[in-house]
Amino acid sequence: MSSAASCCWAELHEELVLAVARSLHENDIATSAKLLNKHYARCLRGFRVVRASQPLPGWTRRNHPTHLVARLASAFQPWPAHGFVAHWGRPEPWRCLTLPQRRRVLCLAASSGDAGSLEAALAQCGLCGCCAPDTATQSAAFSAALAGHAPVCEMLFAVDQTVVNFDVLSLAAEAGHVEVCRWLWRKWECIRPQAPPEAPDLHLCIARLACIAACRGGHEECIALLLQELERALVNSRQQQQQQAQGLAMRGGRGELLTDLPHFPFHAATAAAEGGHADLSDHWAQQQLLRDRGLPPLDAARLAEHAAAAGNTAALSWLLEQPEGQGLAASDELRRAAASAGHAPVLEALRAAGSEFDMSHATAAAESCHSAALRWMADGGVVAAGDAAAWSVVWQRAAAAGVDLATLRLLHEQRGAAVDVASAAAGGSVESVEWAVGRLEQQAAAATGVAGGSGTTGGSGAAGTSMGAASADAAASAMPLDAMWAALQAGNWATLALLLQLARPGAHVPGSAVLTELEAYVERMAPAETLPEAKRSLTEAVRWATEQLSEEGKVLKERSKARNQQSVPARL
């Protein structure tokens, strides 16, 4: 291209630049086109957001438990790999992210399939530092399997072997990712414990359920692979197991695979039908059509709860206006479902219909980590009056669930909620813990100032300095063990490392002392029925966090290796 043509292209009129931009994806505009020169940056100044996620497939919510779906994330394609690494490959952006937010960013990196993005997230997320199994890596494996990235699963397996489990295989099978299924099966064969001959074969149960998942998704290649692996697993089994495998093949196959079988059980039809569910997002409109034909809604209360959970205010308002919906706005079940779902427009619609909210609904929103709903309830007197003690409970639940710092500050400043460092350490961000510790220090200093002001002044300067040094030493040796324990249980290594730093200001407290105190606290707090493997994982996490700070790191690592040789093998 000539220099004249380049100049003309670089100075296109703003309307033409926007016309060209409309043919590009918004991610490409924000990360590429906008950066060409100042003229393009000015013309495309409205494109400021890089989209990193997309909605999950509808079948995930229909066919899998809520707690598993909540741990999934689906990366948007094309994935902005370069921009992600440049931004999230630094520690600073992670400081403001709560525990759920950091897990989500990690899951998005795993779902993207980009190795560089995953490496950056693993290095900076503050979730996967120690050798103990962690739910964050498992959630990342769920998202990688859902997206079909076997190499990413391999990377996560190198960090935590517990990522090879049935839930990962089930998601991959239902999504139709043959390579992930094959990789998982091979890994499972390598790491599975050797069961006694008389024990039921674990492979039988795993392959059976995975076949059903593949059948729901309608993926014949996955079904064929799993049935082939199942046949290999049953080569030396009894005749009864072979008959069971034949029944499994009939159940797992679709119509095209079952034409040659003489018997077709009822469960096969059920499993095949489960894969054909349609999107029910316009269900309320279908109900209106039935109403116009003289038919009442099937179950107004149930439909209203589903509408509230989905954030569908139009459907909810329509249901509340129907004869069967009269009085539903006063239903505690509906109000609690709406508070747990956390959609502020839905809560506003219920309030307009006559609903009243109290502290139990604020607690439900807090436990579900819905900042917008909490702010809506706390601001403007929406919730029936609650005292500071009641709002303090809400604050603790919200902080532990991972509500953002702005909402926590609002609850503290406008509702008088007490600050609890342990709750912030469990689910909060590094900034949340820093703010909580600083706020408590301010309150303590204010209380000390009031108490000191009522006494006699004029002591010697030396005495005052000595008392100040003694107070500093006492503060340095005071360790917030309850907050460390909360962070440890939640797997929030970022806040745990911060608390360990705060416990030894200026390195006045040696790392070995912190380790000894925290290990003793873990022994006291861990329930008596805690499995030895779980307790060992907690202890390993303590050692890992302490070794990040301690000048005696080499000594502690050698001690850790010696203890590992005497401990029980890690659970697979």
What are 452-474's pLDDT values in tens digits? 555 444 433 333 333 333 333 44
Spell out the residues 6+ positions from residue 33 whose beta carbon is closer than 8 angstroms to its own.
Answer: 20, 21, 24, 40, 44
DSSP conformation letters of 456-491: -----HHHHHHHHHHHHHHHHH---HHHHHHHHHHT
| pLDDT for res 264 | 28
| pLDDT for res 549 | 55
Contact yes or no for 425/496 (Cβ under 8 A): yes
Higher pLDDT, 49 or 147: 147
What value does the mean pLDDT take over residues 57-61?
88
Architecture of the domain made up of 52-192: Alpha Horseshoe (1.25)
Give the model's confidence band at 371: pLDDT under 50 very low, under 70 low, under 90 confident, else very high: very high
Higher pLDDT, 544 or 201: 544
Give the model's confidence band at 193: pLDDT under 50 very low, under 70 low, under 90 confident, else very high: low
Place of tokens 């990193």: 52
Torsion 103-105-106-108 (CA) sign: positive
Contact yes or no for 111/147 (Cβ under 8 A): yes
Torsion 219-220-225-226 (CA) sign: positive
Place of tokens 């360790």: 479
| pLDDT for res 400 | 95
Give the model's confidence band at 210: pLDDT under 50 very low, under 70 low, under 90 confident, else very high: confident
| pLDDT tens, residue by residue, 144-176 | 999 999 999 999 998 888 888 888 999 999 999
| pLDDT for res 146 | 95
Here the tokens at position 517 are 């105190």
Least confident of 7-11, 98-102, 173-177, 518-522: 7-11
What value does the mean pLDDT take over residues 192-201?
50
Q: Is the peptide bond before 200 cis (omega within 30 degrees of 0)?
A: no
What value does the mean pLDDT take over residues 103-113?
95
Q: Is the pLDDT of residue 93 over 90?
A: yes
Q: Is the pLDDT of residue 60 over 60?
A: yes
Q: Is the pLDDT of residue 475 over 70?
A: no
Closest to 271 measured CA to CA, from 290, 249, 239: 249
- Mean pLDDT, the chain, integer: 75
Contact yes or no for 68/90 (Cβ under 8 A): no
Give the model's confidence band at 514: pLDDT under 50 very low, under 70 low, under 90 confident, else very high: low
| pLDDT for res 539 | 65
d(CA 324, CA 528): 52
| pLDDT for res 58 | 86
d(CA 285, CA 258): 37
Higher pLDDT, 330 or 430: 430
Q: Is the pLDDT of residue 205 over 60?
A: yes
Closest to 52 measured CA to CA, from 99, 136, 121, 98: 121
Higher pLDDT, 54 or 475: 54
Amino acid at 426: A
What value does the mean pLDDT take over residues 61-88?
88
**Domain-wise residue ranges, the chain:** 3-43, 52-192, 198-275, 294-356, 483-572
Place of tokens 């003489």: 262
| pLDDT for res 428 | 95
Here the tokens at position 58 are 């509808």
Check residue 50 and report its DSSP letter. Answer: -
Place of tokens 């902005």: 80
Check residue 72 and report its DSSP letter. Answer: -
Contact yes or no for 326/301 (Cβ under 8 A): no
Q: Please list the helix, strand and coil fractions of the chain in percent, rounded to the nearest 5, in that order.
A: 70, 0, 30
Least confident of 183-192, 267-276, 429-438, 488-497: 267-276
Spell out the residues 6+ positions from residue 99 whose beta carbon is closer than 8 angstroms to its own.
Answer: 127, 402, 426, 427, 428, 429, 490, 491, 492, 495
| pLDDT tens, residue by residue, 387-407 | 889 999 999 999 999 999 999
| Most confident segment among 26-30, 58-62, 206-210 | 58-62
| pLDDT for res 500 | 81
Number of helices (H) and strands (E), helices first, in the chain? 34, 0
pTM above 0.95, yes or no: no
| Most confident segment among 142-156, 270-284, 543-557 | 142-156
What value does the mean pLDDT take over residues 354-378?
91
Place of tokens 């008959």: 243
| pLDDT for res 113 | 94
Least confident of 50-64, 135-149, 430-444, 492-506: 492-506
In DSSP terms, 357 is beta-bridged to 383
Check residue 129 and report its DSSP letter. Answer: -
Check residue 529 and report its DSSP letter. Answer: T
